[in-house]
């Protein structure tokens, strides 16, 4: 098989780093673009340099750069120099809550940065497959309009027709998104348009909770990763609203990258897919706390605030039927238990490295 030239933006982040390792292992040449802006958004705990250092040690064909995707000239130059076969765009301001404090920066990274990359691809590698990592926040809070029922530990869909979760027909306008959701809608619609208008192989993946051991989890982004850190370091945790019964579906970064690979081998122009862990990998806050406590043998010091996060989903499960029907070779391969087990091991190793400086 011919080696591909691949660009991964956000290459030191959770999904980007998994993509770098995965495609590097297969012998493809991977260029990374990451300026460690996660540290700018979230301070030192969001720093991703540890992950970049890790990648340098584990990869063979990886060329990292600190390119800022807002730098249009820099982006154009990179695309002119490399004729990419595949672009995996994961760089983002990823936090729903943070966006309100940094509205312009959020827009520049999520909307403008995405258009810079799409336009560079159109000008320099129009035949490339292009993957845009979008979010379920493009639906705003419209999933909350679904009738719900309440159990002892979670909210769930009341209508059996909703059992498999939210599909791509969910409304994306006339709803409360958060500024993050709005800037991602802009990127999402542009990505669809470059696919449909120019016939480019652009896939848009609306993520549920994406997770895995390489997340630099912070309170405002990366819920399982942050909860795990809190559990292992005895720090306090606040659950916001909905009695802790709000539900998220979690997918391992490996399964996300496997979906990218399926799409890249057989791209479609401007298709939108929901991508998460589905019902089997769904968990409420209360259930996640109980499972992590059982796994780590430690009590999480959590408190409850009545104030729900603005625009928060009460129950969100990604309906995976569309992606599975287009790409039957893909499925979720990592269960929630195996994800949590891997995260405990990674978090223990990470804190050991920080404590010993090794």
Q: Is 10 in the site for ligand NAD (CB under 6 A)?
A: yes
Alpha-carbon gap, residue 87 to 99, rounded angstroms: 25
Closer residue to ligand NAD in complex, CB, 52/128: 52
The interface with ligand NAD within residues 65-84 (CB under 6 A) comprises 68-70
DSSP symbol at 239: E
**Nearest Cα residue to 222 out of 15, 54, 5:** 15
Q: Which part of the chain contacts ligand NAD (CB under 6 A), choosing from 86-94, 148-156, 160-168, 277-285?
A: 86-94
Of all residues in this chain, which one has the CB nearest to ligand NAD in the complex?
13
In the complex, the smallest distance separating the C-beta of residue 2 from ligand NAD, rounded to whole angstroms, is: 27
Phi, psi of 131 (to 5 degrees): -115, 125
- Which x/- pattern, by CB under 6 A, does the window 164-203 give for ligand NAD? ----------------------------------------
**Does 207 contact ligand NAD by CB under 6 A?**
yes
Q: Are strands 236-240 and 282-284 parallel, antiparallel or unpaired?
A: unpaired
Residue 36 in the binding site for ligand NAD (CB under 6 A): yes
Question: Measured from the CB of residue 308, what is the shortest distance to ligand NAD in angstroms?
Answer: 18
Q: Which of 5, 35, 192, 274 binds ligand NAD (CB under 6 A)?
A: 35
CA dist list (Å): 205 to 18, 167, 177, 236: 16, 12, 17, 33
Segment lying near ligand NAD (by CB under 6 A), choices 87-95, 155-163, 235-243, 288-296 = 87-95
Stretches 10-18, 171-179, 264-272, 302-310: which one binds ligand NAD (CB under 6 A)?
10-18
Distance CA 124, CA 333 (A): 35
In whole angstroms, how far apart are CA 187 and each of 30, 60, 205, 305, 356?
23, 32, 11, 33, 42
* CB of 66 or CB of 158, closer to ligand NAD: 66
Of 19, 24, 31, 38, the residue at the interface with ligand NAD (CB under 6 A) is 38
Least distance between ligand NAD and beta carbon 158 (Å): 25
Q: How many residues bind ligand NAD (CB under 6 A)?
A: 30
Contact 36, 45 (CB under 8 A): no
Chosen residue from 15, 191, 230, 257 binding ligand NAD by CB under 6 A:
15
The H-assigned helical ranges of 82-215 are 103-107, 113-124, 178-198
Residue 91 as a binder of ligand NAD (CB under 6 A): the answer is yes
Question: 199 phi and psi, to 5 degrees?
Answer: 70, 25
249 alpha carbon, distance to own chain's centre: 12
Sole window of 91-99, 117-125, 233-241, 324-332 interacting with ligand NAD (rule: CB under 6 A): 91-99
Side-chain-side CA neighbours of 216 within 13 Å: the count stands at: 26
Which whole-number Å values give the CA distances from 231 to 46, 154, 245, 290, 294, in the listed order? 18, 21, 19, 11, 11
| Distance in Å, CB of 188 to ligand NAD, minimum | 10
- Give the separation between CA 183 and CA 2, rounded to whole angstroms: 36
33 touches ligand NAD (CB under 6 A) = yes
Nearer to ligand NAD, 14 or 87 (CB): 14
Between residue 99 and residue 158, which ones bind ligand NAD under the rule CB under 6 A?
A: 109, 113, 133, 135
Closest residue by Cα to residue 7 from 96, 80, 56, 109: 80
> Interface residues with ligand NAD (CB under 6 A)?
9-10, 12-16, 33-38, 48, 68-70, 90-92, 94, 109, 113, 133, 135, 207, 209-210, 215, 222
């Amino acid at each position: 098989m011919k080696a591909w030239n691949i660009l991964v933006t956000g290459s030191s982040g959770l999904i980007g780093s998994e993509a770098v390792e995965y495609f590097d292992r297969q012998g493809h040449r991977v260029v990374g673009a990451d300026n460690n802006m996660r540290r700018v958004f979230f301070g030192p705990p969001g720093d991703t340099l540890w992950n970049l250092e890790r990648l340098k040690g584990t990869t063979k064909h990886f060329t990292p750069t600190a390119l800022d995707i807002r730098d249009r000239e820099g982006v154009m130059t990179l695309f002119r120099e490399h004729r990419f076969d595949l672009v995996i765009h994961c760089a983002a301001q990823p936090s729903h809550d943070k966006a309100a404090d940094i509205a312009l920066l959020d827009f520049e990274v999520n909307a403008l940065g995405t258009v810079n990359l799409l336009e560079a691809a159109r000008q320099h590698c129009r035949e490339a497959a292009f993957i845009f990592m979008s979010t379920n926040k493009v639906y705003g809070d419209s999933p909350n309009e679904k009738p719900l029922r309440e159990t002892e530990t979670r909210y769930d869909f009341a209508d059996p027709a909703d059992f498999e979760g939210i599909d791509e027909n969910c409304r994306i306008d006339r709803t409360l998104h958060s500024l993050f959701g709005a800037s991602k809608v802009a990127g999402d619609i542009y990505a669809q348009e470059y696919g449909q208008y120019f016939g480019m192989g652009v896939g848009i993946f609306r993520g549920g909770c994406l997770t895995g051991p390489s997340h630099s989890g912070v309170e405002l982004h990366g819920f399982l990763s942050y909860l795990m850190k809190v559990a292992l370091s005895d720090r306090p945790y606040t659950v916001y609203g909905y009695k802790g019964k709000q539900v998220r579906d979690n997918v391992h970064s490996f399964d996300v990258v496997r979906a990218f690979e399926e799409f890249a081998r057989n791209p479609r122009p401007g298709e939108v897919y929901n991508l998460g862990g589905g019902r089997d990998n769904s968990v409420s806050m209360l259930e996640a706390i109980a499972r992590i406590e059982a796994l780590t043998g430690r009590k999480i010091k959590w408190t409850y605030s009545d104030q729900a996060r603005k625009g928060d989903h009460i129950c969100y499960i990604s309906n995976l039927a569309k992606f599975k029907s287009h790409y039957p070779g893909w499925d979720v391969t990592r269960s929630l238990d195996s994800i949590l087990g891997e995260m405990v091991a990674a978090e223990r190793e990470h804190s050991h490295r920080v404590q010993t400086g090794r």
